[in-house]
């Protein structure tokens, strides 16, 4: 721990600063907390004073509180430094320090979450042109995510091959994307496993990326189904390539997709609203959206203090 002192601009030094330095030198220990309840921490330190001016003690401002002077920022004048190495003693559980740490952690987490929400995630969509109907379904899915703040890259945005060629373009998009969504069908799985066409190349690039970086969470598989009520593993084996089964797999109900893609329910009173209108909204889609946008769907209470149990006679 380092305290920087402020140079004195007044000759009115009543000895408070020198008294404080003498106390710090002598005690080598500070206690912080609630002494009545016995909940406190003890900071032990080694006192070291450097770069003193020629006078015994540097000049400080005329503040009435010497602590404010010690903790204030340094100015352009030469300043002594107090280097304090601290260690916490084994007293009672320090609720003060615990709560302060939790508040700091929660604040940092909130700041990070807000930053994530302000940045649209980049997503590459890999799929196979099984049929015109399937291609349009993928396009509606793509457009829905776009309108909800997710930047989606898809080959349908091209009316001619890219200048660098499809293979290099696919590799570049997979590398740049934060997530890769793979629309799995039986035909897609067969093309990937047998290295056929553009999908075969995409599958090879994805498999190599998993082998090199093991970014399992980056690659997400989705399956479009109709009123699926069976065993999920059956669909996985039928539609999802083996190397993609390590990541998250979502099954979407095609009947809940409209011309603009999948909708998210109103977020106010979301639980009650969803119970009454579950036929309109796909719960799996909300889970996918939460992962793409780095959001939580469920409230997790912060860590509380340990409750002391009374002993029974």
CA distance linking residue 194 with residue 246, whole number of Å? 20
Q: Which pLDDT belongs to residue 159?
A: 85
82 pLDDT tier (thresholds 50, 70, 90): very low
CA distance linking residue 201 with residue 195, whole number of Å? 7
User: By C-alpha distance, which of 213, 217, 224, 287 is closest to 246?
Assistant: 217
Question: Which residue's structure tokens are 């994805």?
Answer: 206
Reported as a single tens digit per residue, the pLDDT across 214-263 is 889 999 999 999 878 778 998 899 999 999 998 999 999 999 999 999 99
**Domain segments of the chain as ranges:** 2-96, 120-292
CATH number assigned to the domain covering 120-292: 3.40.50.11530
- Least trusted range by pLDDT, from 99-113, 145-159, 291-305: 99-113
Reported as a single tens digit per residue, the pLDDT across 1-23 is 444 444 444 445 555 556 666 66
Q: Which two tokens stand for residue 148?
A: 């909800």
Q: Which two tokens stand for residue 101?
A: 């740490």
Reported as a single tens digit per residue, the pLDDT across 146-175 is 999 999 999 998 888 899 999 999 999 999
Q: Which two tokens stand for residue 35?
A: 């002494």
User: By C-alpha distance, which of 246, 312, 255 is closest to 282?
Assistant: 255
| 292 C-beta neighbours (distance < 10 Å), count | 21
CA distance linking residue 112 with residue 92, whole number of Å? 33
| β-bridge pairing 179-183 and 122-126 | parallel
Using alpha carbons, list the distances in angstroms from residue 7 to 54, 60, 70, 202: 13, 4, 10, 66
- Least trusted range by pLDDT, from 65-74, 111-120, 200-209: 65-74
What is the 3-class SS of 59-89, one letter each residue?
CCCCCCCHHHHHHCCCCCCCCCEEECCCCEC
Give the chain's radius of gyration (CA, Å): 31
Q: Which pLDDT belongs to residue 228?
A: 82
Question: What pTM value is reported for the model?
Answer: 0.61
């Amino acid at each position: 721990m380092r305290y920087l002192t402020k140079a004195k601009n007044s000759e009115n030094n009543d000895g408070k600063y020198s008294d404080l330095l003498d106390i710090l030198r002598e005690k080598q220990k500070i206690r912080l907390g609630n002494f009545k309840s016995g909940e406190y921490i003890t900071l032990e330190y080694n006192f070291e004073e450097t770069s003193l001016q020629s006078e015994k003690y540097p000049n400080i401002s005329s503040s009435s509180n010497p602590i404010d002077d010690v903790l204030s920022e340094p100015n352009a004048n030469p300043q002594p430094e107090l280097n304090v190495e601290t260690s916490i003693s084994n007293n009672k559980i320090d609720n003060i320090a615990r709560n302060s740490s939790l508040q700091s952690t929660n604040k940092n987490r909130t700041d990070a979450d807000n930053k994530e929400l302000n940045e649209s995630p980049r997503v590459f969509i890999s799929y196979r042109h099984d049929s015109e109907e399937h291609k349009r379904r993928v396009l509606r899915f793509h457009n829905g995510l776009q309108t909800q703040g997710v930047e989606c890259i898809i080959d349908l945005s091209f009316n001619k091959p890219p200048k660098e060629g499809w293979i290099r373009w696919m590799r570049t998009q997979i590398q740049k994307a934060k997530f890769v969504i793979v629309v799995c069908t039986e035909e897609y799985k067969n093309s990937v496993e047998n290295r056929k066409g553009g999908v075969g190349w995409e599958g090879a690039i994805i498999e190599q990326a998993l082998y090199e970086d093991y970014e399992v969470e980056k690659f997400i598989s989705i399956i479009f189904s109709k009123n699926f009520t069976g065993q999920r593993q059956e669909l996985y084996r039928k539609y999802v390539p083996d190397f993609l089964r390590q990541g998250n797999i979502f099954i979407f109900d095609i009947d809940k997709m409209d011309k603009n893609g999948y909708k998210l329910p109103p977020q106010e009173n979301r639980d009650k609203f969803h119970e009454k209108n579950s036929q309109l909204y796909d719960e799996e889609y909300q889970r996918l959206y939460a992962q793409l946008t780095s959001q939580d769907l469920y409230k997790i209470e912060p860590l509380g203090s340990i409750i002391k149990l009374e002993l029974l006679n």
